[in-house]
Chains A and B, each alone.
Chain A
Amino acid sequence: DTGVSQDPRHKITKRGQNVTFRCDPISEHNRLYWYRQTLGQGPEFLTYFQNEAQLEKSRLLSDRFSAERPKGSFSTLEIQRTEQGDSAMYLCASTPPGTGGSDTQYFGPGTRLTVL
């Protein structure tokens, strides 16, 4: 499978626990994005990496959220001390390198988080 992959696909946790999600972008895609989507809403941007550098973070990304992409390949998103309001689908997307213009983002299957 050459698409964006995410793991796990589903996660149920209790309030206060920490969770970590992983995203593997399409091979050679150097830009990686994280979004969050709640029921009835469109995806909302969380953070963006170009290679290993985290270039932009949304104000939605509270101090409890941290994301890494240590080697410029896969990325992890960690949520500490989860709250019920964190329940959502967490989506990862990637785009290929290029000289400008093409910013098409391809999404992975998502990780659905349920906080009890």
Chain B
Amino acid sequence: QKEVEQNSGPLSVPEGAIASLNCTYSDRGSQSFFWYRQYSGKSPELIMFIYSNGDKEDGRFTAQLNKASQYVSLLIRDSQPSDSATYLCAVSRGGYSTLTFGKGTMLLVSP
């Protein structure tokens, strides 16, 4: 069974710090990896996607992928209170296949 594991948190960081969110997956056939942000009562909003091993940066966000370790992470630099949300890790086999989501990690950024 395909599984995506995330620490449910909450992960608490002070404003301005780096938040590190982690995700592991069980399906070695996974090809595409996504991070979504979800505010309470709202739908998931895409933050980043990554397909290749290594780092991918977009503004304050950096996604890291290690396929050998089946590990994906998201770093948020200069964390802001507005970053407080649940972060969902999702994986797919690519080729327009469906997404398998983790349960999400709640991030709390304190002013």
Q: Do A and B bind each other?
A: yes
Residues of A within 8 A of B (CB): 31, 33, 35, 40-45, 48, 50, 56, 89, 91, 95, 100-101, 103-110, 112
Is B4 in contact with A106, judged by CB distance below 8 angstroms? Answer: no
Q: Which residue of A lies closest to B41 (CB)?
A: A112
Q: Is the interface of B mostly helix, strand, loop or mixed?
A: loop
The size bracket of the interface on B is 20 to 34
Q: Which residue of B lies closest to A50 (CB)?
A: B96
Is B42 in contact with A109, judged by CB distance below 8 angstroms? Answer: yes
Residues of B within 8 A of A (CB): 4, 8, 32, 34, 36, 41-46, 49, 51, 88, 90, 92, 94-104
A56 to B90, CA, bound (A): 18
Is B43 in contact with A103, judged by CB distance below 8 angstroms? Answer: no
Given contacts A42-B102, A44-B101, A45-B100, whether A104 and B43 have CB atoms under 8 Å apart is no
Q: Which of A41, A42, A89 contacts B90 (CB 8 A)?
A: A42
Q: Which residue of A lies closest to B102 (CB)?
A: A42
A43 to chain B, nearest CB (A): 5
Given contacts A42-B88, A103-B32, whether A109 and B98 have CB atoms under 8 Å apart is no
Is A110 in contact with B90, judged by CB distance below 8 angstroms? Answer: no
User: Chain A residues with Cβ under 8 A from B36's Cβ?
Assistant: 107
User: Chain A residues with Cβ under 8 A from B90's Cβ?
Assistant: 42
User: Chain B residues with Cβ under 8 A from A104's Cβ?
Assistant: 34, 46, 49
User: Chain A residues with Cβ under 8 A from B44's Cβ?
Assistant: 43, 91, 107
A107 to B42, CA, bound (A): 10
A33 to chain B, nearest CB (A): 7
Given contacts A101-B94, A104-B34, whether A45 and B43 have CB atoms under 8 Å apart is no
Given contacts A107-B43, A110-B43, whether A42 and B104 have CB atoms under 8 Å apart is yes
Can you report 21 residue pairs joining A to B where beta carbons are below 8 Å apart? A33-B98, A35-B99, A40-B8, A40-B103, A42-B4, A42-B90, A43-B44, A44-B101, A45-B98, A45-B99, A48-B98, A91-B43, A95-B96, A103-B32, A103-B94, A103-B96, A104-B46, A106-B46, A107-B44, A107-B45, A108-B43
